């Protein structure tokens, strides 16, 4: 299982808001597919899937605030 973690986004940025999930729980993703879009200030940014697999669990939903380093979702890697 691979965690999708909110990475460092720049100096002084400690959180972002989930604005769009491209995939739902149970759906298959390819590595580097756009997985989730987040927003900070006047910018949106996309996190790609770190691996191919299935979205096992999503912990933060659209409108939720996520801190840098927190896990957004878990991907069950393809065998």
Name the residues that contact another protein, by CB under 8 A. 8-13, 19-20, 34, 37, 39-46, 48
Nearer to another protein, 39 or 71 (CB): 39
Least distance to another protein, CB of residue 72, Å: 16
Return the bridge partners of 4, or none.
73
Cβ distance 16 to 65 under 8 Å?
Answer: yes
Least distance to another protein, CB of residue 79, Å: 27
Nearer to another protein, 1 or 43 (CB): 43
């Amino acid at each position: 299982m691979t965690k999708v973690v909110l990475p460092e986004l720049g100096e002084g940025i400690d959180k972002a808001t989930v604005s769009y999930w491209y995939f739902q729980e149970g759906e298959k993703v390819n590595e580097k597919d756009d997985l989730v879009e987040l927003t900070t200030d006047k910018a949106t940014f996309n996190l790609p899937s770190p691996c191919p697999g299935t979205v096992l669990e999503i912990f933060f939903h659209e409108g939720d605030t996520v801190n840098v380093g927190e896990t957004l979702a878990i991907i069950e890697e393809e065998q």
